Amino acid sequence: MSAPILRVENVAKRFVTATGTVEALAETSIEVREGEFVAVIGPSGCGKSTLFNIIGGLDSADGGRVLVEGKPIAGSHRDIGMVFQEESTFPWRTVVENVAFPLEVAGMGRRAREEKAMRFVRLVGLDGFERRYPAELSGGMRQRTALARTLCAEPRILLMDEPFAALDEQTRMLLGEKLIEICQALKQTTLLITHNLSEAVQLSDRVLVMSFRPGRIKRTVAIDLPRPRTSDVIASERFASYLGTIWEDLKAEAAKGLAALETARRAPAGR
Amino acid sequence: MAAPGVSARRDAALIRVLTLAVLVALWEALGQTRLVFGEALPPASAVAAAVAREIASLSFYRHLAVTLGEVAGGFLLGALPGVAFGLAMGARRVLGAAADPYVAALATTPKIVFLPIVMLAVGIGPGSKVALGAISAFFPVAIAAASGMRAIPPVFVRVGRAFNLRGGQMVRMIYLPALALPIVTGLRLGLGVCIVGVLLGELKLASVGLGFLARDYYDQYDFASLYAVVAIVFALASLANGAMSRLARRAEAHR
């Protein structure tokens, strides 16, 4: 087995709040091998987004380090391409101009960058819409534009934070299939942060279950299901048993998360 | 969506033209008969003749040039610092919170009250009108720039950071395009109040400029010429506003 391309080593993060210090992440370690699709699943408030920001270099860790091919990285890095949960396409740019954005940043000429961007526009299935503006597209199409924009920079590792969270279930399933197709075509190493169980199992080679506060990897589940993950695979007993296994682990954490949320609500109002 | 939009626009234009025609006809009738206002309401035809007279006279262009110069100077001197101050207010929460009440209070103060102070400071010449125009233009521009800055979705900046944008690239590729619409909207409002400020200053105390010209005709009881100047100012203000709205539509096209 090849050496991991991405290693997250004992990354920790604390937040200081009015009521004290919250340990968001405790000694979290992750390894992702080349071409692998790994999902990190955890309840709300478990520090998933913190982990995403630290790996992407948008936030600093209080301990530990992130390594790409064995080299520690600091700050945002061109080997790691980020896709955000929020609506992030630029409304003043057309689809192809959005996708070409990282190439423009790198100083590539207009002709060359549009030609290259068009490859990724086609890859996400948006050809015919390249001259449209985001406001003219559906939410799913805009998220595909954002995905193409990140892929266009050809990162070694695709890092996504709940990219389909704002979409409805069916769009999410279809986009998931599309994502898998793309990742296989590009042999794209991918780390997906999600709170959606079936999404994690549908897409991943491995699912890492995070614990609630402090967040750490509680368990790794290898998803040994054939690809492509057709509706037959998704309807299979093994798919369901993976869901059950992971939910068993996740349930306790989600319950803790919910309890923490309710305690916070019950606390006397004071700001 | 195109067909009903087009016909609605056409209907609106038709109603606008018909309204104008009816008003002008009424005006002409009232002016000719002198039923109301007497001498103070010259007929539309007399005003049209006075407009033609103005446009053909050389001295009119001297007044026009002075007013345009004052508006341009006031707009530049007010709008540029307004954009800069507004962006700083939007970007720095503390500065924004500190400045907000003052800016809001001054923004609603009629700027003409500053004219005596301005005249003491820069004299009664065109400089005082430029200053009044600048003070007027500053506030709407600053307020629009500040709220535009506050409204930029944080994720755009995070995308910029994720793609490793340098400071200059962040400004040019994220902030400026994201701010184009609010800033143009502010500039449009700012130009409007700048014209108001300059004209008020000229009406109050000046020896040259369209405001002075209107005042001068008033003093001479030449009401047709007074109306002509008013009509010309109205036309110029409409042109300026039209140009700014075209700019705004371009900035808005894709939202």
- pLDDT for A270 equals 47
B208: Cβ contacts below 8 Å, ≥ 6 apart: B62, B63, B66, B126
Q: Which of A56, A86, A87 is facing B162, going by the closest CB pair?
A: A56
Suggest the residue from A50, A90, A95 to mutate for an interface test with chain B (most B CBs closer than 10 A).
A90
- How far apart are alpha carbons A126 and B13 in whole angstroms? 39
Distance from CA of A212 to the nearest CA of B (A): 25
Residues of chain B with pLDDT under 50: 1-2
Q: Does B152 touch chain A (CB under 8 A)?
A: no
Q: Does B94 touch chain A (CB under 8 A)?
A: no
- pLDDT for B251 equals 76
Q: What share of chain A is helix, strand, coil (3-state, %, to 5)?
A: 40, 25, 35
Contact B164 A101 (CB under 8 A): no
- pLDDT for B235 equals 93
| Closest B-chain CA to A52 | B162
- pLDDT for A271 equals 44
- pLDDT for B253 equals 64
Task: For chains A and B, count residue pairs whose Cβ atoms are closer than 8 Å.
Answer: 54
**CATH architecture observed for domain B42-253:** Orthogonal Bundle (1.10)
Contact B163 A105 (CB under 8 A): yes
Q: Does B252 touch chain A (CB under 8 A)?
A: no
**Residue, of B18 and A229, whose pLDDT is higher:** B18
pLDDT digits (tens, 9 = 90+) for A27-45: 889 999 999 999 999 887 7
Contact A101 B173 (CB under 8 A): yes
Q: How far is CA B169 from CA A109, A191, A262, B60, B92, in A?
A: 16, 28, 44, 47, 20
- pLDDT for B37 equals 78
Q: Which of B161, B163, B254 is facing A133, going by the closest CB pair?
A: B254
- pLDDT for A5 equals 92
| Closest B-chain CA to A154 | B163
Query: Of A26, A24, A17, whose CA–CA distance to A267 is shortest?
Result: A17
- pLDDT for B254 equals 59
Q: Does A84 touch chain B (CB under 8 A)?
A: yes
Distance from CA of A198 to the nearest CA of B (A): 27
Query: Of A179, A157, A162, A155, whose CA–CA distance to A49 is shortest?
Result: A162
Contact B255 A91 (CB under 8 A): yes
A1 pLDDT tier (thresholds 50, 70, 90): low
The full set of domain ranges for chain B reads 1-39, 42-253
Q: Does A90 touch chain B (CB under 8 A)?
A: yes
Contact B180 A92 (CB under 8 A): yes
| Closest A-chain CA to B180 | A92
**Mean pLDDT value across chain A:** 89
Calculate mean pLDDT across residues A98-125. 95
Q: Does A111 touch chain B (CB under 8 A)?
A: no
Q: Which residue has the tokens 């500040």?
A: B146
Q: Which residue has the tokens 């190439």?
A: A103
A269 pLDDT tier (thresholds 50, 70, 90): low
Record the tokens describing residue B17, joined without a space.
């033209």
Cβ-Cβ contacts under 8 Å, B174 against chain A = 90
Residue A21 has pLDDT above 60, yes or no: yes
